[in-house]
Amino acid sequence: MSISFKEDIVPISELKKNTKKILLQIRNTGRPVILTVNGKADSVLIDVENYEKQLRAANLSKLLLEAERDIAEKKTRPLNSFLEELKGAHKI
């Protein structure tokens, strides 16, 4: 997700004046808009689709970290053992 410094950094006062325009820009470009307060970056607006993608990526990352920790701590078991338990639990 790239940012256009010319288009995507907006003072909060501009958001107040042109809310619809800025929201359309976010939807149409898929890029976030950085809001500034007194010339300093304060907040970021992103569209819902990108937000959901970021949440899914963060959740996947968390699961992978847990799996890597389990492997490092030898908290694993053979696949065959797991499959047998799964078959028994679901009467497969």
* pLDDT tens track for 26-77: 999 999 999 999 999 999 999 999 999 999 999 999 999 999 999 999 999 9
Domain assignment present for residue 82? The answer is yes
How many folded domains does the chain comprise?
2
How many helices (H) and strands (E) the chain has is answered by 4, 3
Domain identity same for 39 and 65: no
| 78 falls within a domain | yes
**Residue 33 forms part of a structural domain:** yes
Residues 56, 40 share a domain:
no
Q: Is residue 2 part of a domain?
A: no
**Quick check: 52 and 75 in contact, CB under 8 A?**
no
- pLDDT at position 6 is 81
β-bridge partners, 70? none
- Structural domain contains residue 36: yes
**19 in any annotated domain:** yes
Instruction: Domain of residue 26: give its range.
Output: 9-46
